[in-house]
């Protein structure tokens, strides 16, 4: 548990670690991100995350799609690839090819999501867990924590946090609860809110207050998860990737202002990234 106030998120904390391409880079060098989609009627959240991962620089982004959703996903995507899986073994093969894999957005609170999450944690180089990939472990959170072997970021809102870390928000301040959750789970925990908190198991704790009230719109959290995954796929350390994505998510939302919808956020990233690129050492 930490008793000190968290540091405030700022590009000074992570911009020097931004994973810019070198002159000889190609798409495979820039990292592969996989995003597991939900069933046919619940694919939009994963597609938002995938586009965000691509916009933030991942060289290859692929939707890992149940067969029922493959045509829906393929009809909507051009730069993002779509690959179907119809078994745990098939998903395992796909996950092995991913430097980072993201699961949870509209995945469904089902046995399949539980098994798919465990497969991602075992086989992908790193992972981002959001939404249903967290809720599905509400009755056995230790099974989730025990499966974390590689760099992993969890991105719960307060409700999801309470399901896998019951009682922490009742007994501790939000910063303390987030720090305890990171230590308990062995993962980076990003607790979303008007003050987003990012904690690492080693005690690092950052508060992100750089945001916009217009992020209160469906799908914005899926975009944030995709941004984190895209940075991790490129090799950015998980804690810094979470901090960087949170700040950038807030910054593009500030620039867009009233009327923004989640689809706007990934496509607003190039302007910000161009400014970062001009400042690189």
Q: Would 20 be classed as within a structural domain?
A: no
Q: Is 172 inside any structural domain?
A: yes
**Residue at 183 is within a domain:** yes
Phi and psi at residue 179, in whole multiples of 5°? -65, -45
Residue among 11, 17, 53, 59 at smallest CA distance from 36: 53
The pTM (predicted TM-score) of the whole model is 0.97
Domain of 252, CATH number, reads 3.40.1190.20
For 212, the domain range is 30-279
Note whether residue 24 is domain-resident. Answer: no
Measured CA distances, 271 to 12, 48, 160, 275 (Å): 19, 19, 32, 7
In a domain? residue 188: yes
Domains in the chain, number = 1
Check if the beta carbon of residue 141 is closer than 8 Å to that of residue 164. Answer: yes
Residue 23 domain-assigned?
no
Instruction: Answer yes or no: is 219 within a domain.
Output: yes
- The string of DSSP letters for 23-71 reads TT--TTTT-EEEEE---TTS-HHHHHHHHHHHHTT-SEEEEEE-GGGHH
Output the tens digit of pLDDT for each of the chain's 281 residues.
445 789 999 999 999 999 999 999 999 989 999 999 999 999 999 999 999 999 999 999 999 999 999 999 999 999 999 999 999 999 999 999 999 999 999 999 999 999 999 999 999 999 999 999 999 999 999 999 999 999 999 999 999 999 999 999 999 999 999 999 999 999 999 999 999 999 999 999 999 999 999 999 999 999 999 999 999 999 999 999 999 999 999 999 999 999 999 999 999 999 999 999 999 86
**pLDDT value for 280:** 84
The pLDDT, as a whole number, for residue 29 is 87
- Taking CA atoms, 231 is separated from 50, 108, 204, 209, in Å, by 12, 25, 19, 20
- As a whole number of Å, the CA-based R_g of the chain is 17
Map tokens 């939404």 to a residue: 131
CA 141 – CA 124 distance, rounded (Å)? 20
- Alpha-carbon span 204 to 7, nearest angstrom: 9
Structure tokens given for 126: 């790193």
Query: 75 burial class (0-12, 13-18, 19+ CB within 10 angstroms)?
Result: exposed
Whole-angstrom distance, CA of residue 171 vs CA of residue 244: 29
């Amino acid at each position: 548990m930490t008793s000190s106030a968290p540091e405030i998120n700022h590009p000074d904390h992570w911009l020097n670690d931004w994973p810019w391409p070198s002159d000889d880079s190609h798409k495979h060098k820039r990292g592969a991100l996989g995003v597991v989609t939900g069933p046919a009627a619940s694919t939009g959240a994963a597609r938002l995350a995938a586009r965000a991962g691509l916009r933030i620089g991942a060289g290859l982004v692929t939707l890992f799609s149940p067969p029922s959703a493959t045509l829906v996903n393929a009809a909507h995507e051009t730069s993002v690839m779509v690959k179907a899986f119809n078994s745990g073994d098939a998903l395992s093969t796909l996950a092995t090819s991913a430097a980072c894999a993201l699961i949870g957005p509209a995945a469904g609170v089902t046995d399949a999501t539980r098994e798919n999450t465990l497969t991602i944690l075992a086989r992908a180089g790193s992972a981002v867990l959001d939404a249903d990939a967290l809720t599905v472990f509400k009755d056995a959170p230790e099974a989730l924590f025990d499966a974390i072997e590689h760099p992993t970021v969890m991105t719960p809102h307060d409700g999801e946090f309470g399901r896998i870390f019951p009682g922490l928000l009742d007994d501790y301040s939000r910063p303390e609860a987030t720090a305890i959750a990171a230590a308990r789970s062995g993962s980076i925990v990003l607790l979303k809110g008007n003050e987003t908190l990012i904690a690492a198991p080693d005690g690092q704790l950052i508060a992100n207050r750089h945001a916009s009230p217009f992020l209160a719109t469906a799908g914005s959290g899926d975009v944030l998860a995709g941004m984190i995954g895209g940075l991790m796929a490129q090799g950015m350390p998980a804690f810094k990737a979470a901090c960087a994505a949170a700040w950038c998510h807030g910054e593009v939302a500030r620039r867009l202002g009233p009327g923004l919808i989640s689809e706007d956020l990934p496509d607003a990233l190039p302007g910000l990234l161009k400014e970062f690129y001009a400042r690189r050492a």
